[in-house]
A and B are shown apart, each in its own frame.
Chain A
C-alpha cells in the first residue's frame, strides 16, 4: 500500500536550520503535542463525536444508531426511526463523526424546502457544523457542507453544478418522497455519486413493499436483487409478503429503526380510537345521490372522480360543492343536468354536518386544552374555522404553503391565543407541537404513514401528556373502505419494517 507523506514540516524545518525563520515557543510546542494526544483516534470503532459535543446529550438509541450505521453498515443506511425520535440528531452525529475522522470533507444535504432553515439551525447550534444553503451564484468548490431543497437541486443548472462536486456524504431527509423511480427526484438522486449516504424517513413503506425496494435500490442497488427477481418473489400478491423473515433480515442490514418503545425513554401513552359516525337522514340522501351519479352520467363514471366526491362529502358539503359544480359544467344531456342541479341544491340546503358536530363535541370535552384538526381539504378547513367560530371557538389555519415566518406566527397564535389549529395534509411535516395532545383526524388519508406523520407532530420527544387521537369515520361510506385498506397497509409495514405504534386504533386487524 502506498504511504502518503506530508512534506510541509520538513520544509519548515529546513528554513529554521538555515536561520531563515525563527524557532517557535516551547510551551506552545508541548501544548500542541498534548492536544494531539487528546484528539488522537486510537480505535477504528467507537464514536469520537460525543466528546466534541458535551452540550448535546443524545439519547442512547441515537448514539447506538450512529454507531451501527458507521460500523456495521459502512455509512450507507436508511434511518427509519418513528416520527419524533430525532433522526436529525442521528444524521448529525454520523456527519460529525465522519468530519472528525476526516472521512468526509464535503457533504450534501437534500431536504424539503420548508425544512432547510431548521436543518441549518440544528447543525449549527447543536453540532457546530457550518452549513451553506445552496445558491447558484456560490462557487461550490469552496463550500464544504451544502444544503439544498431537493426540488431545486433536481433542476438545471443546479443539478449539473451539484453533479460536478465530489461529495463524500449525501443526506436526504423525508426520503419516502423517493419511492417512485419514475420521478425526477428519484432520477436525480440515482445519478448522484453516493460514497456514504443516509436516507431519513419514518415511513419507508407507505403503500407497498416496492417502495422500500426502490429506496434500497437507490442506496445500495442489488441489495434486494434486481427488479425482476424481486418482483417475481414479492409481487404475486402485492400485500402478501411471504418471505417475510428473509426480506426483513436483508432490510435490517441497511436500515435502522427504533420504535418509541425501543428507546428506553418513558413515553406518554397514545390513546387512539376510531369514532364511527352515522350520517343524518339528509346527509345520507346526498351521499347516496352522489354514489348514484355514475349511473346517471358518463361524466361521473370514472372511478377516480367518484371516489373523490364520496370522500369530499364525508368531509363537508363545501369540499364536495367545488368538485361537483365543476363537473356539472361538463354535463350536456338535460336529464344529467337536472339530476346534478337537484343534487347541488340538496347539497346547498344541507344544514347539518355530523362530523363537524362530533369534532366540536370533542373540542368542548377537551376542557380548553389545545386540539389539532387535520383535514384533507382546504374547503373543509375554511368551513370548520367558520363553524367553530360561530360556536365561540377560536382556531387558526395551517398549510404547508405558508412561508416560514407565517408558519411560526400561526404556531405562536395557536400556542398563546387559539384553542384549535386546523391543518391540511401538507401542513403535517416539519412542525412540532408538543404543547398539544389532542389530534382529530377529521378525514382519513389513504396512506397510514400520513396518519403517523400527523400524530408525530405532537407525540414526540418533549410531550408531557398522554396523547389522544380521534379518527373520525362515516359508517357505510367510502371511509369504511379506507379504514380497511389502512389496516392492510399497516400490516404490510409491520411485517416488513417492524412494529408500528398505534395509529388507527388500539386494536389491530390481523391480515
Chain B
C-alpha cells in the first residue's frame, strides 16, 4: 500500500464515520473523533467511565496521522502510519467490524425515471478459505446467489462494485419477494465452498503428513531401545503433531442482501 493509498483509505474511513477533518494536506490528516470512534480506537475506557459516571462534558480526542513522513515538509506532531503499523491494522479491524452486513438497492439511471423498475433480490457473501499446516495459504471467494432462480455466480463483489447502489430503495422502484430464503441461500453458498474445497489440490496436506511422519521417525530413533520413554518424548511428539497439523478454515469476511436490476 503506497502512502497515497493509505491517505485515501484513512480519509474515507473518517469521513464515512462522521469524524470531521480539521486540517490536512496530502501527507497528513488531523481529525476530530466522534464519541463512538474515540471509544473504539483511543483505548481509554477509564476516561469514558469517568465521564459517564460524573456527567462531565465528553471531550472526544483529536487524532493526527502522518501518512507520508518522507514528504511531509511542515512540522506536524502526529502518529506515523504505514502498512503494518498498529494504528492502521486497528483501523482495518474497525472497518471490518463496521462493514460486515449491508442491504443495498440498485439506483435506476436518472434518464429512466418514469418507468417502473423491478429489482431482483440476491445474497452476496465474501468467503475466505485458509489452508494451514506448518504453512498457510488463503483464497477469497465472492459468491452471489439469485434468490429468485437460485443461480450462483462467482466474482460477485467485483460485478456489483461498478453499480450505483444505495441503502434505501428509490421512488418508483420495487423489488420482488424472494422465493429462496436468505438463510437457505447461505447454506447453498456454503455448499459451493465445500465443493470447491473438495476439488482443490491438497498436495500441501499430503506433504505435511509426509514431513510429520519423517520427523516422528527421527524422534523415535533418538529414543530407540529405551523402555520407559521420558515425558520429553511425549511432548516432542505432540509438538511435531501440532507443527504439521492440517487445518481448513472458512470465514465470512462480509456479505448482505442486494436488490439488483442489472444482473
Contact = CB atoms under 8 A, between A and B. Distances in A.
A33 B218 contact: no
Interface residues of B, number: 78
Nearest to A28: B99
Contact of B239 (A39, A40, A193): A193
B235 interface: yes
Nearest to A168: B242
Given A16-B101, A42-B137, A74-B243, A32 B254 contact: yes
A364 interface: no
Contacts of A103: 132, 134-136
Interface string A16-52: 1100010111111111110111111111110000011
Nearest to B249: A4
B126 A26 contact: no
B250 A3 contact: yes
A222 B138 contact: no
Contacts of B85: 128
Contacts of A2: 247-248
B218 A6 contact: no
A264 interface: no
A13 interface: yes
Interface residues of A, number: 66
A13 B250 contact: no
A195 B212 CA distance: 12
Given A36-B253, A53-B84, A1 B246 contact: yes
Contact of A32 (B100, B142, B194, B197): B100
B39 interface: no
Nearest to B242: A195
A464 B233 CA distance: 49
A70 B136 CA distance: 11
A61 interface: no
Smallest CB-CB A-B distances: 9 pairs:
A52-B84, A222-B222, A28-B99, A9-B252, A221-B222, A32-B99, A222-B218, A29-B99, A101-B136
28 contacts: A1-B202, A3-B197, A3-B248, A4-B248, A13-B101, A17-B183, A21-B101, A23-B101, A23-B102, A24-B100, A26-B104, A28-B98, A28-B99, A31-B12, A31-B16, A32-B92, A35-B95, A35-B96, A44-B204, A51-B83, A54-B83, A55-B82, A74-B134, A103-B134, A196-B243, A222-B219, A222-B220, A222-B223
Given A102-B132, A226-B223, 7 more contacts: A1-B246, A13-B101, A24-B254, A29-B256, A39-B92, A51-B83, A195-B242
